[in-house]
Structure 1
């Protein structure tokens, strides 16, 4: 049976407020990206332990760290970023989570992406080397502007790294906004390597994120297929329906200035949209 998770920082920057809203839903996991107004990568071990206590007290777990790993330019200084990743690995132990989200580096504008294949693979391998011996999965998310922005290159990463620790996250909205047919094309290209799904939809012609099922992603068909095949991983809601604290640091292709302010109401719209799809799968 699938499990529901979410980016709770789109509800509120503060963990206690995130938890109070989530208690009104069936969600008992969070994909930890922002806690108490800090990026997950900036939490100290002590702060992480305190957050874990709060989560435990209310019966919540962490499905994954929504880390910013790999969201730098391929030409940027890598060593401090690798050190940050090693800190995130320590946080994974504190939060008792198996999964960490990563990206595959922004490629210079107007460059030939394929010429950066080797540098990207080299850096991704260093992440895997840092995690060697840990019982975790490093999950690559497709994202606008990074090397793995299209399904073919996401699949290439998986094939070339050839490591059971490395798997994929599927984000239909990010494929759509890249001009890629999310379903069935992207889904079928990467489904064998994908173990985690971000739930958000988009309308390509409007360059806009919308609730699940209201965009070009054919989420009812995709989710129905996964459920019927017995998918037992996470569907993690990432609403992006409104502006929230920290959004600008994560998204480079949205017109953030024109977005309404996010919060509990917009989060619940995203949640109900997903629940409506899942409840109607026959």
Structure 2
């Protein structure tokens, strides 16, 4: 397993992101927002600057995290072409940073068969583009999007069976479902997860918590990944800044350090107990 972190969860300032990664001896970063702007929105010139700074500090990019698909389905040819342009832009940026993964979403779903078919058709187009460029698309289990139910995830990955189309599992996104998975479902998801976002939430109060302090069974999740010989990334996305109790006491950079230490302790504990 490799530890990485979403860039804007570390700090809003790029140089501070680098400083904290170096301070904690982390050599991977997941590029989402830099200086309050998504990575795809930056100019090529600024991307060259980011790349040079990462190279200088010996930090590799684990993923390009986009907002593609966190939206309604396009309802015109022009809207579809614009989304495809964004996918191609994401692929180009991933290639620039030698990132193997691009995070996308599966579009907001109204529950209809028509919507389902349109979503799968469009995601299949994305998959074709990714295959051509040897890039893997990661579909997150995001609330309100198509890939937010066990049934839909199963259907999606049975319809699009590809080495370049995989599941990104966010530990906090299913926290509201207090009932666990069946053993069969559990093993199924573990086998198709290629990337994991680590966050923790108290399901009763909805408060964001440090990893291991909430209801998301973060330690058990990491332990199960170990048993499946998971070789992917654990990406820290604590969102603790949105817990006012913590935000009143700590700066964002301090909260990242607290969350990272908790995650590292969990990973170390799991490794020792195997």
Structures share fold, TM-score greater than 0.5: yes
- In the superposition, the TM-score normalised over structure 2's length comes to 0.89
User: 2:191, 2:228 within 8 Å by CA — same for their partners in 1?
Assistant: no
Structure-1 residue corresponding to 2:148: 149
Whole-Å Cα distance in 2 between the matches of residues 133 and 228 of structure 1?
A: 32
Question: Which residue in 1 is equivalent to 2:268?
Answer: 279
**CA separation of 1:82 and 1:180: change in aligned 2, threshold 3 A:** farther
Offset, 1:181: 4.3
Aligned mates of 1:221, 1:164 — CA distance in 2: 26
Residue 219 of structure 1 and its aligned partner are, at CA, apart by: 1.5
1:41 matched residue in structure 2 = 40
Q: 1: CA distance between counterparts of 2:181 and 2:58?
A: 35
C-alpha distance in 2, partners of 1:102/1:95? 17
Provide the TM-score with structure 1 as the length reference.
0.86
- Partners of 2:136 and 2:126 in 1: how far apart? 11
Q: Secondary structure at the match of 1:31?
A: strand
Shift in CA distance, 189/216, structure 1 to aligned 2, threshold 3 Å: farther
Tell whether the 8 Å contact from 1:45 to 1:94 is kept in structure 2 after alignment.
no
SS of equivalent to 1:198 = strand
Provide the rounded CA distance (Å) in 2 between the counterparts of 1:81 and 1:19. 31
After superposition, residues 121-132 of structure 1 pair within 5 angstroms as 121-132=120-131
How far did 1:182 drift?
A: 6.0
Q: Deviations over 1:157-194 (max 9, x none)?
A: 111012221010111101114x3646677643422211
Quick one: distance in 2 between partners of 1:150 and 1:231? 23
1:209-248 superposed matches below 5 A: 209-243=208-242
Q: How many pairs align?
A: 265
Structure 2: runs of 5 or more not aligned: none
The Cα of 1:75 is off from its aligned counterpart by: 4.8
Supply the distance in 1 between the matched residues of 2:22 and 2:253 (Cα, whole angstroms): 12
1:82 aligned onto 2:84? yes
1:200 and 2:199 are equivalent in the alignment = yes
- Residues 14-163 of structure 1 aligned to structure 2 (within 5 Å): 14-75=13-74, 77-107=79-109, 111-112=110-111, 114-163=113-162
Alpha carbons 2:140, 2:169 under 8 Å: kept: yes
RMSD in angstroms over aligned alpha carbons? 2.2
Does the residue aligned with 1:230 lie in a helix, a strand or coil? coil
SS at the partner of 1:97?
Answer: coil
